[in-house]
Structures are given as C-alpha cells and as structure tokens.
Structure 1
Amino acid sequence: MGTKEFFTINGEHLLQKIKELIEEGNVRRITITEKSGKELMSFPLTVGVVGALFAPVLAAIGALAAIIGECTIAVEREEKETN
C-alpha cells in the first residue's frame, strides 16, 4: 500500500506541480479535486508513461487549470522497500 500526500494549490500552478511530481518518479496515482471535494481528474502513473504518451493528460490538466481556482492534489506514492 502506498502513502498519500495532499497539496492545496491554485489552478495557475497546477500544471507545473503535476510535472514536478511526475519527475520525482515514485508517484503511482494523482487525483485532482476541487475545493468542495468533487473529484475532477484521476490518473495512474506507471513506469514508462512519459513524453508523448502522457502529453494528452498534460493538455487536459492545462485546460482544467485554466478554469478552476483552488484545488487539492492527492498523490499516492510507491512504498520504498526496506531490506
């Protein structure tokens, strides 16, 4: 089971934050919810889903960011194995 983190952010910074999270590489799923708690978008991040394959999702996030104000990003991260 992964750990979850939550970030509250304005729409204008949403796309940049999503890109930063993707670059971290240990994110399994990202969910974006509006202030009222309604889920706007949720997508899994699997190994190798970057570049051209992920471009449509980034375009959708950019469009979403243009129309929403404050939102919350829930980030589910991979558990680090401790051996």
Structure 2
Amino acid sequence: MSHHKDDEAHAEHDKDEKKTTWTENVELVGDELIASVKKLAAEGKVRRIRIVEPDGDIVVDMPLTLGAIAGGAVVLAAPMLAILGALASYVTKVRVEIVRSGPGPASPSPKKDSMPA
C-alpha cells in the first residue's frame, strides 16, 4: 500500500469523554480506500474517519463508536461500503483524516548542537 502520512498531529479534547484525541492525515490512491478504511475501523482507537477530496470538500464523515465494534469484528454498513466503492472509482487521490483517541505520537526530541567548550 502506497500512502503518504503528514507529520502533523492535532490534539483536541473530546468533550463527551474528557479524553485527548489527535488527527492524522493520510493520502491514499482511490483503489486503496476501502481496504484502508476497513483496517482503520478495526483498530479500535480510531474515533472518526473523514474522507476529503483534493479540493477540500469532505465527502464522507464517518464516526466510529464502540457500538460499531462487535466481538472484535467491525461492522460497516453496506451503504457506506457502496459509497466508498463509488468514491474510489471516481477519484485518483483522497486525503483521509483519522481522528484517534489517546495520546498523540511522541514528538522527537530536538537535537542539541554540541558546542566546543
């Protein structure tokens, strides 16, 4: 799977559960969309998936709740899969915004230049 991850992670607070969430942006080619969304939905810590066209329009905004997970298997409604399939054949590249719960990715510590004493 060829995709590009942006290095940005945006922290925000979930008002309902008082937990920290962060957003990851991934660019996908259209034919990778359905498999990637299924995999993300199965992760458990993904709270929401937004699919954004290159012009910035949000095409799909899909909240994922604990109710959508049954016995470890994610149940995606057939209409949503049909929409994703149509979208995948229509666009060449989309940006997927993945809102995850929990602490964000660890930011690398800045390198200190060693100065001669």
- Alignment TM-score > 0.5, same fold: yes
Equivalent residue in structure 2 for 1:10, among 8, 14, 29: 29
Partner of 1:37: 56
Query: Paired residue for 1:73?
Result: 96
- Taking the aligned partners of 1:46 and 1:62, their CA distance within structure 2 comes to 22
Identity %: 37
Q: 1:60 aligns with which of 68, 80, 83?
A: 83
TM-score by length of 2: 0.62
Give the partner amino acid of 1:76. Answer: V
Of structures 1 and 2, the one scoring higher in RCO (CA 8 A, sep 6+) is 1
Q: Distance in 2 between matches of 1:21 and 1:69?
A: 20
Q: Gaps (5+ residues) in structure 2?
A: 1-12, 14-20, 69-73, 104-117
CA RMSD of aligned residues (A): 1.4
Q: Distance in 2 between matches of 1:3 and 1:69?
A: 26
Which residue number in structure 1 is paired with residue 113 of structure 2?
none
Could you report, residue by residue, the CA deviation over 1:43-68 in whole angstroms, capped at 9, with x for unpaired residues?
A: 100113132x5332122111111111
Higher helix share: 1
- Counterpart amino acid of 1:38? D
Query: CA offset at residue 79 of structure 1?
Result: 1.8
